[in-house]
C-alpha cells in the first residue's frame, strides 16, 4: 500500500512560473538596470534548465546579452537571483498565486486517510513556505513532514537527488510513495530515484513535453464541476 505522497511545487501545486517566477525575474532585471525581458514563450524554453540561478546563467551563455562592465557571470546570476527571490516573495504575499484546482481537495483527503505528505522542489524552502502561507489554508505548510529543496542536494532535477533525500527523510522505499509532478525534468528525477507511481498534472508549459514515462498524465486534479481529463499513461490504458 502507498504510505506517502511526494509533491513537486512549481507548476504542480500552483501555476507559479508564468505569472510568478517569470515576472519576478523581469522585475529583478529592470531593477538592475538591464534591458533583458523574458516573454512567456522565451521563459518556456528556459524552463528546460531547472533552478533560477542556473536559468539566468544558461540564458547569459545562450543569448549573450550585454552585461554590466566588469561583471562576472556567476556573481551576476547570484545577485539577480537574490533580487528575483525578493520580488517573488512580494508577489506571493500579495496573494496573486493560488493553488491549482483540486490540490487542496487531494491533500485534505490524503491527510484524512493517514497518508504522509512531503515536498520535493527545485526552488527554495522560503519560496515553498511563502506559497503555502498564502494558499488560503492556515497551517498548510505543517501538513508536510518533509520539505526538500534544490539547494539541499548536490544536483537539481532532473537528477534524482531531491527525491532520494525525501525518501531517506521519510524512511520509506520508493514503492511506498506516489509522486505528483508537472514536468519532464521532475518526472525524470522521480523515476531516476526509483519512484514508479508518478502522476503528472500538466500545465500550459509542460503539456507538450515527453511524459510517456509517467504512470498517468492528467490535465489537472479535478474539482466538482472541473473534471479530470486523462491524457495518457500506463494506468490510463
Ligand atoms: C521549478 C524550477 C524553479 C523555479 C524557480 O522546477 O525550476 O527553478 O522555476 O525557483 P520543479 P528558484 O518544479 O521541477 O522543481 O528561482 O527558487 O530556483
Ligand atoms: Mg514543477
Mean pLDDT of 220-230: 90
Report the DSSP pairing between strands 177-181 and 216-218.
unpaired
Cell of 226: 472541473
| Strand order across the 146-148 sheet | 146-148, 116-120, 4-7, 177-181, 197-201, 216-218, 230-232
Task: Tell me what the pLDDT averaged over the chain comes to.
Answer: 96
Mean pLDDT of 122-134: 97
Question: Residue 4 in 3-state DSSP?
Answer: strand
**pLDDT classification of 225: cutoffs 50, 70, 90:** confident
Torsion angle (degrees, nearest 10) of CA 175, 50, 45, 126: 110
pLDDT digits (tens, 9 = 90+) for 7-36: 999 999 999 999 999 999 999 999 999 999
From residue 163, alpha-carbon distances to 74, 115, 184 in Å are: 27, 17, 14
Any idea what DSSP says for residue 19? I
- Selection from 51, 74, 47 nearest residue 150 by Cα: 51
Name the residue of 44, 50, 165 to mutate for ligand 1: max ligand atoms within 8 A of Cβ: 50
Q: What residue spans define the domains of the chain? A: 4-16+98-236, 17-93
Name the residue with higher pLDDT: 237 or 219.
Answer: 219
What residues flank ligand 1, with Cβ below 6 Å? 8-11, 17, 21, 50-52, 121-124, 127, 157, 183, 185-186
Mean pLDDT of 55-76: 92
Work out the percent of the chain whose per-residue pLDDT is above 90.
Answer: 92
- What is the C-alpha to C-alpha distance for residues 231 and 208, in angstroms, rounded to an integer? 11
Q: What is the pLDDT of residue 236?
A: 56
Four-way CATH pick for 17-93: 3.40.50.300, 3.40.640.10, 3.30.930.10, 1.10.150.240: 1.10.150.240
Take atom 8 of ligand 1 and give the residue whose Cα is closest.
51
**ipTM for this model:** 0.95
Torsion angle (degrees, nearest 10) of CA 40, 42, 48, 52: -80
Name the residue of 24, 150, 195 to mutate for ligand 1: max ligand atoms within 8 A of Cβ: 150
Mean pLDDT of 48-54: 96
pLDDT of residue 237 exceeding 90: no
Cell of 185: 525534468
Lowest mean pLDDT among 48-52, 178-182, 207-211, 232-236: 232-236
Take atom 13 of ligand 1 and give the residue whose Cα is closest.
10
Cβ burial, residue 61 (10 Å; 0-12/13-18/19+) = exposed
CATH of domain 4-16+98-236: 3.40.50.1000
Long-range contacts, stretch 139-143, CB < 8 angstroms, 24+ apart: 140/107, 143/107, 143/111, 143/117
Cell of 180: 505528483
pTM of the model as a whole:
0.96
Q: What residues contact 12, with CB distance under 8 A and at least 6 apart?
A: 100, 180, 181, 182, 186, 201
Mean pLDDT of 213-236: 88
Looking up cell 514515462, which residue turns up? 213
Q: How far is the CA of 36 from the centre of ligand 2 (A)?
A: 24
pLDDT of residue 163 exceeding 60: yes
**pLDDT classification of 70: cutoffs 50, 70, 90:** confident
Amino acid at each position: 500500500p502507498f504510505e506517502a505522497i511526494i509533491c513537486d511545487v512549481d507548476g504542480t501545486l500552483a501555476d507559479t512560473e508564468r505569472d510568478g517566477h517569470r515576472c519576478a525575474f523581469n522585475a529583478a532585471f529592470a531593477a538592475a538596470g538591464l534591458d533583458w525581458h523574458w516573454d512567456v514563450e522565451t521563459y518556456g524554453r528556459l524552463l528546460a534548465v531547472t533552478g533560477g540561478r542556473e536559468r539566468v546563467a544558461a540564458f547569459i551563455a545562450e543569448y549573450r546579452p550585454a552585461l554590466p562592465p566588469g561583471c562576472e557571470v556567476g556573481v551576476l546570476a547570484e545577485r539577480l537571483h537574490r533580487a528575483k527571490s525578493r520580488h517573488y516573495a512580494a508577489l506571493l504575499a500579495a496573494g496573486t498565486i493560488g493553488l491549482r484546482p483540486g490540490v487542496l481537495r487531494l491533500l485534505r483527503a490524503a491527510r484524512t486517510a493517514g497518508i504522509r505528505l512531503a515536498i520535493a522542489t527545485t526552488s527554495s524552502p522560503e519560496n515553498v513556505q511563502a506559497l503555502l502561507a498564502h494558499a488560503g489554508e492556515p497551517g498548510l505548510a505543517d501538513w508536510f513532514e518533509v520539505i526538500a529543496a534544490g539547494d539541499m542536494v548536490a544536483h537539481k532535477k532532473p537528477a534524482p537527488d531531491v527525491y532520494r533525500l525525501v525518501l531517506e527523510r521519510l524512511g520509506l522505499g520508493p514503492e511506498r510513495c506516489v509522486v505528483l509532478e508537472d514536468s519532464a525534468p521532475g518526472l525524470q528525477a522521480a523515476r531516476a530515484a526509483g519512484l514508479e507511481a508518478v502522476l503528472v498534472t500538466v500545465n500550459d508549459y509542460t503539456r507538450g513535453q515527453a511524459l510517456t514515462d509517467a504512470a498517468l498524465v492528467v490535465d489537472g486534479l479535478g474539482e466538482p464541476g472541473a473534471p479530470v481529463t486523462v491524457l495518457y499513461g500506463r494506468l490510463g490504458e
